Amino acid sequence: MRDALRPATLARAAWSYVRRAPGTFTWLAILFVTSVIMHHLAPDTLDHVLQRRSTNINNLLHSPGRVLLTSALWLGGGNWLYYFVLYNVFHVPAERWLGTRRWLAVMGVTHIGATYLSEGILALAIHTGAAPHSAVDTLDVGVSYAMAGVAAVLTYRLPWRPLRYVYAAGVLVFYAIPLFDNLTFTDIGHLSAALLGLACYPFTPGRQHRHMRTAGTRPKQWPRTRAGDPSGPSNPGHV
């Protein structure tokens, strides 16, 4: 017990924990740096910096790739420690389960998809007069869309199917409730991201194996041959 509390042992355990989700902790490190920058900028300067990175309608029309990436590197609300806890609850298990590349794919689908869906609805509201034209420059930065998508895709991590339904319903209800109280395009984006996360089932590990098992296919096997038949496979006992 005493050995487990030694600084070197604790450091190795922490490093082992971090390196199993490299993408999540790299992202958290970037968010820590940008959060420190935010706290040291004057309000007018900060507003200018965030507007340059906002996925509003104007920026999506002129530099979509740049703002879709940089908007996810700044926190739109809440302090860094709050997101540190949320990332360890949702992103860490998701990245370990999916693998870094598939985890990134889920985040890309949900962050980009929810951004375009929500901003598209806002553009329609502006066109019909339901929202002012100034809304084309509405500030929209943060990591919440990716968070909603990852939280939703973790549905398929649960081994017991009835529990999956309960969890998925809980995620959808959580993001649907704000739609009935002072609806904003961000609320639409959150629910869209959760739905897109549920649609990311094809990215989940073992899906192909489950599909083959459901279809009744079996792994390819060598045909049986008579002893001494030279046309059959070689004896696996001789290499």
pLDDT value at 166 more than 90? yes
- Entry pTM: 0.83
Q: How high is the pLDDT of residue 182?
A: 85
pLDDT value at 100 more than 70? yes
Q: What is the pLDDT of residues 191-201, one digit of tens each?
A: 999 999 999 99
For 163, counting Cβ atoms within 10 Å of its Cβ (0-12 exposed, 13-18 middle, 19+ buried), the class is: exposed
Calculate Rg over the CA atoms of the chain: 24
Q: Which tokens sit at 144?
A: 């919440």
> Quick one: DSSP state of residue 21?
S
Mean pLDDT of 112-132: 96
Tell me which of 222 and 62 has the higher pLDDT: 62
pLDDT value at 36 more than 90? yes
Q: Report CA-CA distances (Å) from 132 to 47, 111, 125, 127, 138.
A: 20, 25, 8, 9, 10
